[in-house]
Amino acid sequence: MSADIVSNSVMPNSPLSDSQYVRDFQSVLDSNVVESTEENKKRSHVGPHLGSRNHIYEYSIQHNDAFWAEIARRDFYWSQTWADDQHVKSYNFDKSKGPIFVKWFEGAVTNVCYNALDRHLPAQKDRVCFYFEGNDPSVTETITYGDMYVKVVELANVLKYQYGIKRGDRVALYLPMIPFAAVAMLACARIGAIITVVFGGFSAQALSSRLQDAQTKLLITADASSRGTKPILLKEVADEALKECEEAGMPITCLVIENVSRQSCKMKEGRDTWYSDALAQLTPEQHKECPVEWMEAEDILFLLYTSGSTGKPKAIVHTTAGYMVYAATTFKYSFDYHMDDVFFCTADIGWITGHSYVVYGPMIHCATSVLFEGLPNYPDYSRWWQLVEKYKVSIFYTAPTAIRSLMQAGDEYAKACDRSTLRVLGSVGEPINVEAWRWFQTVVGDGHCDVSDTWWQTETGGHMITPMPGCTPMKPGSATLPFFGVEPVILDSKKLNEICGPAEGLLAIRAPWPGMARTIFGDHARFEQVYFAVDGYYMTGDGARRDSDGYYWITGRVDDVLNVSGHRIGTSEIEDAVNAHPAVVESAVVGFPQNIKGEGIYVFLTFQQGTEVTVELLAAVKATVRKVIGPLATPDVLHPAQEGLPKTRSGKIVRRVLRKIATHSDDDLGDISTLADPSVVEALRRSREKWVDAM
């Protein structure tokens, strides 16, 4: 094993013998797997074979507190540490024993911004933090860690002295993928403000609801940006959202970064301020220094909204110490990051991947990253591969949706660029299909790259099941094995008991890990209901299969949440948006397999009596969804159901039947005798092709 993670002095307590490591390794080798190259095996932090990983993993489970205590002490700065390395966590996963809670490193004091910036200086002040590439290929910038420090200090002082932002205040970000987004996240963390990042593709209504729910004091946005050839008028959307907030009795001030030009948007006096104007008011000293606010381990670092099955998006709460340790540790080992690597994650900061693996994880390890604003197909499908060649990227992390789109465009775009520096490829957001996995590994990676197919969630803070480059034999389509300290189990979907050995069922986690969410902001009862419905387990909401080698295969959501292009969207949230159109009476949303996005949005809907269903009307319904939620929730199929939806006699919509109709798997609908009107099923079957073709 490698002494890089846990010192050899504590490892003899591990319960596995060396002969067991070899047997485990051989069972996997006998399967249809892809092995790491010899070069990646030699570089691996964990060790050159599966036995190395198993050795450390078993220790991390058997001596969980000591394992995380050693990593936390070694890899992070603390202004005050916890009292006892043998007891760094406390928790309750069983509602019958009292309220659900999780705490890590209690008594410790630290600051995430200090760990991501200050401790690297002055030694690393000239090291590149970000190579920024704008949507327009001519817009580029190289930003060092010294540059980032100055930018963060300046914004932190603007927030403190001009807006009165203090520890615990909520600051929302509605920004494009520009360096200022990372600056703003760290500036808030520096002064103890709670960050809530809202994806720049969300609508005014979606932004307004999040601003109000988080009780936001300040919104930071940009005048505008572009995605491909499409202008994104961020300030216009923000204006509409802020107007809604004011009408609801919650006025919010707004700080605006000039990303395009001052002429690109309107400003409201007394509410809006250009950042350059605010910057000009700082004293010379405030341009140079801003003391950090030292935070307790369980102080909130950020809120991040994610969709649920019950409609209203929920604000997941992540706290300072546990999230910091977990995001940074998973970054190092899931990607086998070394200081000579260049990392490129294509995620937006509006999602958890952007938090953990664009900003916090890489910067805490003083990594050099590519920060990209645009699209993978603009100006053409070679854009990402041009950046790989330009910056000699060695670790590349993206979503299966993008991989499938690039694969469909053809191999020539990738092959036209030098990708020889790549050694690790990562996939995130949804299970990657085997065909896309193999294309990613053989075409993009020329057959010499490890593929880290990562399974995790907004709620987990970091990777939960993932290969470790250089030591985990890969199975295309499998997320492989759990990360250190993580105990996944498969529960029987009916009896809810653990199933040992090869099994398929509900994926749950038996014990806490440092990066897990602590609650839903303002609604702990919902947190307990959603994630701890089965006493003793964190319920992921995903189904999974475990094979004879112990490898995990994620089979998809088991609740009413869709995974569209790697983004979770609640079906009820979409239904509420569809129903907002005045002509719609009722709707029901289901998912269906979609070649590029993975899962498409299929909407069955009924209209007011006498309504003429036209292509224009359906386009208007789609426009309503875009206005209420944003473009990512736009339905792929609208299927009018004027004869009605299949319901039980008690009025419950039978979604099982709708899923079968949407996926053309309705040869066997099962028992439909409980339907109030079984004839509507045949009516939906007859009308299906007409509306699918019309889309």
CATH code: domain of residue 620: 3.30.300.30
Per-residue pLDDT band at 671 (split at 50, 70, 90): low
Q: What is the pLDDT of residues 403-441, one digit of tens each?
A: 988 998 889 999 999 999 999 999 998 888 888 899 999
Query: How confident is the model at residue 384, as a pLDDT?
Result: 98
Is 124 part of any domain? no
Mean pLDDT, the chain, rounded, equals 91
Query: How confident is the model at residue 406, as a pLDDT?
Result: 93
Per-residue pLDDT band at 262 (split at 50, 70, 90): confident
Is 123 part of any domain? no
pLDDT at 118 over 80: yes
Is 181 part of any domain? yes
Query: How confident is the model at residue 569, as a pLDDT?
Result: 87
CATH of the domain at 226: 3.40.50.980
- Pair 326, 199 in one domain: no
Per-residue pLDDT band at 5 (split at 50, 70, 90): very low
Per-residue pLDDT band at 570 (split at 50, 70, 90): confident
Please say which residue of 524, 557, 590 terminates a domain: 557
Which sign, positive or negative, has the C-alpha torsion 408, 411, 417, 423? positive
What contacts 600, CB < 8 A, 6 or more positions away? 564, 591, 592, 593, 594, 636, 637
Is 118 part of any domain? no
Please say which residue of 529, 557, 585 terminates a domain: 557
Query: How confident is the model at residue 24, as a pLDDT?
Result: 44
Give the chain's radius of gyration (CA, Å). 25
Q: What is the pLDDT of residues 510-540, one digit of tens each?
A: 999 999 999 999 999 999 999 999 999 999 9
- Pair 265, 395 in one domain: no
Is 298 part of any domain? no
- Pair 380, 273 in one domain: no
**Count of domains observed in the chain:** 3
- Pair 308, 452 in one domain: yes
Residue 235's H or E segment, with its range, is helix 234-247
H helices of 440-520, in order, are none
Question: Would you call the peptide bond into 379 cis, given omega within 30 degrees of 0 as the criterion?
Answer: yes
Query: How confident is the model at residue 568, as a pLDDT?
Result: 79
Query: How confident is the model at residue 50, as a pLDDT?
Result: 93
Of 181-185, 428-432, 588-592, 633-637, the range with the highest mean pLDDT is 181-185
- Pair 276, 338 in one domain: no
* Higher-confidence position of 633 and 21: 633
Query: How confident is the model at residue 665, as a pLDDT?
Result: 82
Is 134 part of any domain? no
pLDDT at 361 over 90: yes
pTM above 0.75, yes or no: yes
What contacts 210, CB < 8 A, 6 or more positions away? 172, 196, 198, 202, 216, 305, 313, 315
- Pair 155, 275 in one domain: yes
- Rounded distance, CA 552 to CA 522, Å? 34
Query: How confident is the model at residue 20, as a pLDDT?
Result: 40
Closest by CA to 394, choosing from 482, 469, 471, 327, is: 469
pLDDT at 14 over 50: no
Cα separations in angstroms, 504 against 482, 496, 592: 16, 12, 21
Query: How confident is the model at residue 512, as a pLDDT?
Result: 99
Residue 254 β-bridge partners: 219, 272
Per-residue pLDDT band at 650 (split at 50, 70, 90): low
Domain assignment of residue 288, given as a range: 144-293
Per-residue pLDDT band at 673 (split at 50, 70, 90): low
- Pair 406, 453 in one domain: yes
Cα separations in angstroms, 462 against 190, 355, 400: 21, 10, 18
Query: How confident is the model at residue 674, as a pLDDT?
Result: 59
Please say which residue of 525, 557, 589 terminates a domain: 557
CATH of the domain at 491: 3.40.50.12780
Mean pLDDT (whole number) for 327-334: 99
Among 112-116, 201-205, 252-256, 594-598, which is the least confidently predicted range? 594-598
pLDDT at 465 over 70: yes
What contacts 546, CB < 8 A, 6 or more positions away? 490, 501, 502, 503, 504, 552, 553
pLDDT at 387 over 60: yes
Is 116 part of any domain? no
- Pair 553, 483 in one domain: yes
- Pair 28, 152 in one domain: no
pLDDT at 651 over 80: no
pLDDT at 571 over 90: no
- Pair 312, 276 in one domain: no
pLDDT at 15 over 80: no
pLDDT at 8 over 60: no
Query: How confident is the model at residue 572, as a pLDDT?
Result: 76
Mean pLDDT (whole number) for 642-670: 81
* Higher-confidence position of 693 and 445: 445
- Pair 106, 148 in one domain: no
Mean pLDDT (whole number) for 17-31: 41
- Pair 540, 575 in one domain: no
pLDDT at 618 over 90: yes
* Higher-confidence position of 694 and 74: 74
Is 119 part of any domain? no
Helix H, strand E, coil C: the string for 94-125 is CHHHCCCEEEECCCCEECHHHHHCHHHCCCCC
Mean pLDDT (whole number) for 647-672: 78
Per-residue pLDDT band at 551 (split at 50, 70, 90): very high
State percent of the chain over pLDDT 90: 75
